[in-house]
Amino acid sequence: MKRFGGRTVAEAIRRVRKSGSVRGIGIVVGSLVDPATLGNSHVRIHALEGQLFRGVVVNAAHRARLPSTVWRERDMMTGASRTLRLTERTIQERLKTLGRTTDGPWRAEQKLAALAAWQVLAGTGL
């Protein structure tokens, strides 16, 4: 699974590099809790899946010589406000405006991905 995931991420990096430049990779996760500390086996399995995904993407970024940063979802807005030097309200308004330019869905996960990309492009957190 790690090899397949690594190849898939590496291929995505190659495709993006063909169409332009790549500055880095931003990864947004729900939790940074060590799965070993979780008592509930069901919750631990989901935490291990998240850890596996995160590791695959970080390793692929490293092999591609790209910086990567992992952000916890609930810290994104506060951290972005600090690093981008904008108010949270300004960031939310700009994300809302950006969402109007998309044809597809513009849910929380798309907004978080855009915010991670924004921070990567701004050179913050890398």
Q: What is the pLDDT of residues 68-112, one digit of tens each?
A: 999 999 999 999 999 899 999 999 999 999 999 999 899 999 999
pLDDT in tens, 41-64: 999 999 999 999 999 999 999 999
Give the number of domains in the chain.
Answer: 1
C-alpha closest to that of 56 among 7, 117, 15, 13: 7
pTM above 0.85, yes or no: no
Residue-level pLDDT at 123: 82
Asked whether residue 126 is assigned to any structural domain, the reply reads: no
Asked whether residue 89 is assigned to any structural domain, the reply reads: yes
Residue-level pLDDT at 125: 54
Asked whether residue 28 is assigned to any structural domain, the reply reads: yes
- Inter-residue contact 114 to 95 (CB < 8 Å): yes
Asked whether residue 39 is assigned to any structural domain, the reply reads: yes
Grouping H, G, I as helix, E, B as strand and the rest as coil, residue 29 is strand
Asked whether residue 61 is assigned to any structural domain, the reply reads: yes
How large is the average pLDDT for residues 5-9?
Answer: 90
Domain that holds residue 105: 2-121
Asked whether residue 80 is assigned to any structural domain, the reply reads: yes
DSSP 30: S
